[in-house]
Structure formats: structure tokens, C-alpha cells
Structure 1
Amino acid sequence: MHHPPLPTRESLREVRYDIRGELSRRAHELQGQGRELIRLNIGNPGAFGFRAPEHLQQAVVAGLAGADAYTHQQGLPAAREALADFHRRRGTPNASAERIFVGNGVSELIDISLRALLDPGDEVLLPSPDYPLWSAATILNQGRPVYYPCTPEHGFLPEPAAIEALITPRTRALVVINPNNPTGANYPPELLRVLVDIAARHRLLLMADEIYDGITYDGAEFNPLAPLAGDVPCLTFGGLSKVWRACGWRVGWGVLSGDPLVIGDYHHALDLLSALRLCANVPAQSAVPAALDGPETIRELTAPGGRLHASRQAVIDACASSRHLSLVAPAGALYAFPQVVGDAAADFDDQRFALELLEQESVLVVPGSGFNVPASRHFRVTLLPDAATIREVFARIDRLLERMAARVAERRVA
């Protein structure tokens, strides 16, 4: 007896996550056949030889003896106290342990925070390009993503007038990803103040994805949103994954700020949803105080002479020397988002380009359309490989783009 296929949730058809999607599955197949690939699709420091700092590892080991039981649904008290102190120093208004939620990475908290906010059909303002989890979590929580453009012509920074033009009575939140994934844009305080003003006038929740807050280059200065937001409701996300190179530990946090009378019900909703999943990974939360109060370790990597700085410079140099690529130099985060230009961009399909690059040159990147960019001529690479690997990658990319440009020229002659 044959049963029909088990149906799945209809809205999953609208969800994409190209970072670990079909291209990544094809890469696994090729590796299974013995092909050596250079994978630049995921910002996963541990896969490129980075380690979480020693003092964080020691803190986890020291905390193991007391980590067998569930902890509070909002997180380990010592971790939340350390986070409250950190955010008070940063200027987050009314920062306290009671307003902090620790999750199994920021990914889980994004899902919980949208589930607590949205009724079916409610709208969330997201940047385009976005980190695609934001779109997916909005759709799966029955909301509707509405994209505000962040174009290379504008340095990948949002234009406030374009955001305001998209607001409707169903708009509930404005998401800000700063420093930005995938573009590396770093938002100036003047722009952030205008975004706060928009949120205040339209009674929106600000959702600040600041997981890359300690990763900036060449004098760029990170500006947190919550201190500028003041009484405007703001939920700020951070974690151990990137600045402290501990992705696999799955420790993220959300810090709720704003007028207590306005955020009270939302706080209770977050608390309920946190309780339903019992608690976040307890052993790894022991590293939070050590991370926030211990020695600073990211600057030696992002400063001139550091590995991340050198890899970023290798991307900038490669794009500058290529007739096929244009780049807005990333000011922060762990990625670059080059654009294909000239003859190679004629009839360009970013998915086909990424597949040809994988099949022909053994390099895996993420096409720009995976970040909800319409008619994309972009692709994303991570800055985590060393500079020599970056140079090799872009030599291969340029070889493919030369072939693509030659095909266009041949068609023109024909």
C-alpha cells in the first residue's frame, strides 16, 4: 500500500537559506568524490582555524560541575548580570538582568522575538540585502517581510525616506543589522538617530542585530543602537559566535530596552516563550562573564597586521585589480559583497555563476539573491580564510568572469 507524500508547511516554500542550501549540498557531493574545495559560504571561525579564547574555554570547564540542571529560562543569573553591567557601561537605558534573555545562539532569539511580536499578516521592515534568517523567521511566524533597499551606490546604508515610505498600519518592527551581514556596512550615529526617530513616530520595535559589534576595520567605530533609542522599544542581539569565535557553543543574548510601561507585555511574552523551551545551553553560558570582563582578543585580528585585516585587504586589492568586479569595502563584520560589472555582468544570473564557480573552479560562495536582493549581480565571501587563500579564490573568480565576458563578446560579434 502506497501512501501519498507527507505534506509539509506551505509557508516553507517561501523560505530560503542559500548559505547552507543547494549549492552547499552540491559541494558536499563533490567533496565526497574527492574534490578539494575552498568554501567561503559560512562565517564559521572554527572551520578556518580560529579558536575561542583560552580564558573562555577555562570558564566553561570550571562551570561544568554546576551545569547539569536547568537554569532560569532567561539565562544563567551570572551571565545576565555580566551582560547587564556590559550594557550599562555601553549606555543602554535601564539595563538589568531582568531584561536580558540568553538563547541557543542569536538565531533562536530572533525566532522567539518575532513569535512574541507578530500576528498573521503583520509586517517587519528588513534590509535588502538581509541576513536570510530574518526573512525566514518572519515568514514562519506568519509575518510579512518588507524590504528597504541598501544599495552599493549608497554605501549599502539605508535611506530613511525609503524606509518611511514602506510603513503601513501593519508594520510592527524595524530591523537594523549593524555591522552588516552580508555587506560589511557600518552605520553612522546620525543615520541611527534618524532610524530611531522613524521608529518613535510610527511606534515600531527596533530590532538591532549587533552580533558583529566588535569587528570593525581601519578606524570605523561601531555605534550601538539602544543608547540612541532611549525610551523607544529596542531589542539588541549579541553573542559569543563571532567576536569570541565560539559559534558551536550556541550562546546568544537579547537585551530589551525602552520605556518599561511600553515593553512590559512584550517582556512577558518573551519570558513565556523562553520558558517553553526550558532554557539555553547551560555549560557555555559560563563563558559570558569571562568574555565580557576578560582580555580583549578581537582587535589583534582586525587591526593592521592582523589576520582578518589582511584577508579583508586581499579582497579589496583583488576587486580593485579586476575589470569584472566592483566592491564597497567592508567597514565591519566578516564578509565582503562584491558586484560583477562590465561584459561579465551581461545576462548575469548569480545562481548560475555560483554553480559554475563551484563546478569549474572548486570555490563555494553565496549568490547575492540568497540575501533577498532582486536582480542580484553580487556574491558574498567570508573574510575568514588567510590572505593567500583569498588571493587564490579571486584568481579563480576572475578566470571564470573572463570566460563569461568572452562569451558575451563572441555573441556580440556573431
Structure 2
Amino acid sequence: MDLIPVASYARTSQDSRHRDERGVRNQHRINERTARDQGCVVVATYTDNARGATKDDRERPEFDRLLADLHRGHAFTAGPLRGVVAVADDRLYRRPEDFIRFMAALTSGPGRVYVGRDGLRDPYTKEGLLQGVESLQGAVAEGKMRSRRVQDWHWSRAMDGLPHSGPRPFGWQEDRQTLHPVEAELVRKAIEDRISGSSVSGIAREWAALGVRGTRGGRPSPQAVTQIMTSPRVCGFRANRGELMMDPDTGGPLVGSWQTIVEPEQWRAVCATFSAGSLYMHRGPLSPRLTEGKTGPKYLATGFLRCGGQVAEGGECGQLMGGSKSARSRKSPYNYICVFGRGCGRCAISGTLVESAIEGLLFPGDGKGPVRLPESMRLRWQSGGMDFEEKRKIMASVFSHIVIRPGKKGCQTWDYSRVVPIWKWADRLRGAEPAA
């Protein structure tokens, strides 16, 4: 009897405190056992770690890739797909829209199966559809109840003047009450300098030069510094869901139980230094925010490129590289750069070179690349018939990310070997080769 080739999908809403992806690994392990018990074999895995499925603005790239492969009936390197296995339905969908998308993809070809802990489910029958609908209703009800409980819990903590839960805020010790002697002084000086006219970028560079790291280990960026300075907690005020909590007895802002870094007047003054339309993010309720909708990426490889420059402590920088206009070259009207402060600041590459290399990786001239994309897709990409968003979705389905190696000073020719792809299925490919 031939085993049915299926895809294993795993998702967690939050990773463990150690960020070791243990939850999704365990789900895949259970999926392997379930598939084997039901006469199936897992040929491809899809993982959305620390990604929720309740809100409509949460992206799940691996879920989208799974649906695309189901519609195609084939995983790029794993062969045909005839079903999906998951530890529970709510790992796949928690919203009606996602349920509809999943069922449409799963039943887009004949003979498909859904493998659950309770056995094989026929998605084409009324009974199989009703089972999916019942699990969806349960997931929606549970999600609403859990969200309400969490909101009430946070509101109650705020009314009691208790600090936020989660990772400790920069400037305070682990108890979230006592000031950190070094970090608190940095925040106090940053607020005073900003009120005096210093730029946020300058403050971020100063922190980076001092070797300052965030509470999660990140390098200081202008956005992070702005969030720290404009947070109401620096002056003792308590906020919840972006709004200052008001004391019902006094009518003024609710004051928390932790030690403060600056006076309320200084906090209001630093918030006032940010004008409407600022590029920086703000958490302080008095800080102006952009009211327009979210802006998408301007450049094709935004979010995919990571700096491969060497850092002092050894290893690669690994920071995301952003796009930036360039007036120096008509051949390269924009570049991707590693921004100092957030990264090492030592790596930059022509945007045109990168996009040419990406096209060569997706559609190699000899047709012998690691992936096999349809010829119709190549023609649409190269003829200009494919829009920007579709190109990015294809890239997201193929690349985990792309490492950019530093260039050689004085080199006048394009060096495609600087563009090193890290494929989604690195464990199933011989190895990632540089673009040719």
C-alpha cells in the first residue's frame, strides 16, 4: 500500500522565553507520528512560529505557502501533495476567512485528505465539512473569550498601578519597580538631550558606541530610543492599550508603583518634540502618530536581505538591510544598506544588482537551479506582466532570506557571488549556492 504524501503544518502564537521553537518542533514530531499511524508520510513541513491566527492583520507566510502548494498540488522539492496533517484545526485557522481559503486549497484537486489526531477526514463530504465548521466555531468562541480575559487582566493591573507584564522595560531591573542604575541614567540623559535639540539618530549612535543593548539583546535604533523616551512609564504614568489611565478619585493620570526616571513635565516636553508625521514610532499617548494606513515596502527585496558583514565579536552581523535612494549612479538608482546603530553599517549593495541576481536565482538560464518555477511565471516576471506584490510572494515562498556579503573596495564590476540565497528547504537541498 502506497503511503499518502502530506504536508505537516505547525504554528504557535508565542515562542518560549528561550526562543528555541520547541513548540513547533513538538507539533511536527506529533504530526509525523499521526501521519504514520494513518497510512501517510510527511514530505514537506510548513512552520509559522510565534504568529497568531486570530487577528486579520497577522501575516502567516508559511500558511500562505502551504495554500499555494496545495493549489499547485506539488511542493517545489518534495513532490506531490495529497493532504495536510496538523495537531489541531485551530493551528491552521481561527477565522472564517482562513477556513474558506484552506478548504478551497485542500479540495482544489481530487483525492485529498485532512489528517487529524482523530483520524482521516474526507474534506469533500458534508460530514467532513461540518467537522471543520464545528472546530472553527469553537476556535472563534475561544479566541474571543481569551482576548476578553487578557484585556480585563491588563486593565485590572493598570488600575492597580502595577507595571506591564512581559520582558522588563529598559531602565528598570527585573522587578520592574526599581531603576536600573546605568540604563535609567541613559534614558534621563537622552530625554534631556532631546529636549535640548539633539537628534534621535545621534542619541542612538551614542548608545551604540557605548555598547548599549536592549532588554532583548538588540542594538539601539532611533525607533527603539523614541519608544523608550516617550513611554509614560518614564514619569510614572500608567497606560493601557495606548491610552493614559485616569484615576477615578483625582481625575488625573493614574500613577504607577515603580520608581520614575523624569518628572511628568519633562515627559510632556520630550513628547512635544515629535511633530505630526514623524517617521519614528511612538508609544506615549501624548506623542503624535501617523494617521494614514500602513505603507508597504518600496523596494522588491525589502525584508529579505540580511547583512553578511563581520562584527567585532565574531560571526555575521545578520541585520536586515533597508532600501535607500542613491543620486550617484544612474545604473543603481537605489541601494540596500546595513544601517549603523541597528547593524554594523559596513555593507551596501546596488538594488539593481540584487534584483538581477534574484531573477537569476529564480529563473536560471540553464534551468538547473534548486527550484523549478513554471515557465509561464518566468515569462510574466520578465515581461513586466507580474505586479510587485506577486513577485514578493514568490520570493517569500522560495527564500528564507538572502545574505549579502560585503563588496571589495574599488571593484567596478557587479559581483553576483555577494548574493547568497538561503532557501526555504535548506535541509532538502544540497546547499545554497551564490547567484551566477
Q: TM-score normalized by structure 2?
A: 0.22
In terms of fraction of residues, the more helix-rich structure is 1
Larger radius of gyration: 2
Q: TM-score normalized by structure 1?
A: 0.23
Higher relative contact order (CA 8 A, sep 6+): 1
